[in-house]
Amino acid sequence: MKKITRATFKSFVKKNSDKLLAKVISDFNGMTDCVEHLSDAEYSPARKAEIDSEENNLGFNEIWLVGDSRDYFKLIDNEKYFGYHVSNCCGSFDIVIAK
């Protein structure tokens, strides 16, 4: 299988930007100064970002990439969804499209 890179992920997001579903599984919490698992995580339409940090969030609230080879990508390809699971020091999330 071909290695999944940041470029692969960015291309997927750009190509499918109008139909992306996101599930934030864990997120950095500034109050506790650590990454915390979100127990109520479920897929919902990805929301356009209010903060203009295109390099890190690719234009979506649910995405946060840290760069410098510290983002880890895993393919999601099942009966319902196709997309990617991403994890890094800021948390983990799934970005998929419905099949």
| Own/partner pairs, 24-27, CB within 8 angstroms, 24+ separation | 24/62, 24/91, 24/92, 24/93, 25/91, 25/92, 25/93, 25/94, 26/91, 26/92, 27/90, 27/91
Q: Report whether 57 contacts 65 (CB < 8 A).
A: yes
User: Which residues does residue 95 pair with via DSSP β-bridges, in sequence order?
Assistant: 22, 84
pLDDT digits (tens, 9 = 90+) for 33-65: 999 988 888 999 999 988 767 788 999 999 999
pTM value is 0.90
Q: Which of 86, 98, 96, 71 is nearest to 25 (CA)?
A: 86
Q: What is the pLDDT of residue 83?
A: 98
